[in-house]
Amino acid sequence: MLKVIAPIFLFSLSFPALALVPPDYQEPPSDFTAEIEAGLQLNTGNTESSSFNGRTQLIYDTKQTKQEATLKAYFASEKSKTTSEKYELQLQSNYKLTKGYIFGRGDFTWDQFGSYTQISTISSGYGFNAISSYKTKLSLEVGPGYRYNLPAESVDIPNPDAEKDVILRTAAKFSQKLQEYSSLNADLTAEMGENNNTLTLDMNYKNLVFQDWAFKIGMNIKYTEVVPEGSQQTDTITTFNLLYTFR
């Protein structure tokens, strides 16, 4: 009798719990999203090498504000000798309005082997969503800023002076959902100043392979109008990464 009563008693305890939690229950969407990726890279321009790169992005998106932080790292070595070492930090805070948003942004680059070893840009302005649908998204931003560039040392100029410039920054951020599990993203940024102008295109193709895992092919192209002597105007980085998304 005890063998019969025990299963019935356990079933009676578990039934209310099943009634409270439907079988199709899902956790409510979170305001926080994180992406971590790593893989190989191919460099052309001022740096010729192939090695490791990594990227981490944190996004906290609420009804009133959106906070975004992105950290990128590029590293390469040949025969125990470092040939490429570059770090990028991008911070942006948006305050949402009825139409559009006001943003404050900071871009910081440390590049040991680049034409500029340190680049710091602080900007603010206004942005709005020109297109916002399930498959296509396009946002535009414009605003003033300040840029600090430190050129790389050379034989002729061992201690170069930093270049300081007031700029106008414009940006377009585009995202297109190609299929259910693949998307194309492209960010185009222009910084126009009295002493120098830059144009950066950051684009990638992402394909989901398993749940939160995706394969990502990226390309970053940056054109700088005025560079130190002996440096190239265009830098290109191509990456092949495996990406994981936390939601």
Contacts of 149 (CB under 8 A, 6+ apart): 116, 118, 119, 162, 163, 164, 165, 196
Q: What is the mean pLDDT of the chain?
A: 87
Interatomic CA distance for residues 151 and 230, integer angstroms: 12
- Whether the CB-CB separation of 61 and 93 falls below 8 Å is answered with no
Interatomic CA distance for residues 45 and 233, integer angstroms: 8
- Domain map (residue ranges) of the chain: 30-246
Interatomic CA distance for residues 141 and 132, integer angstroms: 15
Tokens of 84: 């490429």
Predicted local confidence at residue 158, as pLDDT: 82
pLDDT tens, position by position, 24-69: 445 555 789 999 999 976 667 776 666 899 999 999 999 999 999 9
pLDDT tens, position by position, 98-157: 999 999 999 999 998 888 999 999 999 999 999 999 999 999 999 999 999 999 887 777
pLDDT tens, position by position, 91-103: 999 999 999 999 9
Residue 241 has pLDDT above 60, yes or no: yes
Predicted local confidence at residue 46, as pLDDT: 78
Predicted local confidence at residue 22, as pLDDT: 52
CATH dotted code for 30-246: 2.40.128.130
